[in-house]
Structure 1
């Protein structure tokens, strides 16, 4: 096997960490600011992250997260399939209270 045929080694930031793009559940990415506790303003309970809405699906380093049918597309053409712009091409994290869904939601833009 030639060296150029070998698979690239997995990296933490792009392959094993928080996946890029819009997603349901998981953890919030705090790549634009320091992490901030998201506690319910009514009950002081740590909030859940049920939804992240992202401006792009992936970036140049996120090849392992690209759908198989889009692996051959150039990065700049396939990086924005959601066709949504959040802030300055960021992510909108929507947090909800696990104790009472009627409590006000909180959000952050990263």
Structure 2
């Protein structure tokens, strides 16, 4: 994978600081503006994860489902990208299971 873009680094910093709304905006903007980037899927996952960490579980579940749908529709990805996607999909199912225990 290429170097991590500055936008994703800033989004992660805001997420770690607990500013989930700003982090989500940055991740969403990266997803929308970088249609061919190999880390696009990560940005979409992190939008969902921001909802999760903000305890907005209904929104998180919807965003995780959207992430899963997005990943399942990817046709031209490298083996390395597929490995990363598989790891994030596994984490997504874990998060959804956790949400079900809360709701």
**Same-fold call, TM cutoff 0.5:** no
Quick one: higher RCO (CA 8 Å, sep 6+), 1 or 2? 1
Name whichever structure is richer in strand by fraction: 1
Q: TM-score, normalised by structure 1?
A: 0.23
Name whichever structure is richer in helix by fraction: 2
Q: TM-score, normalised by structure 2?
A: 0.24
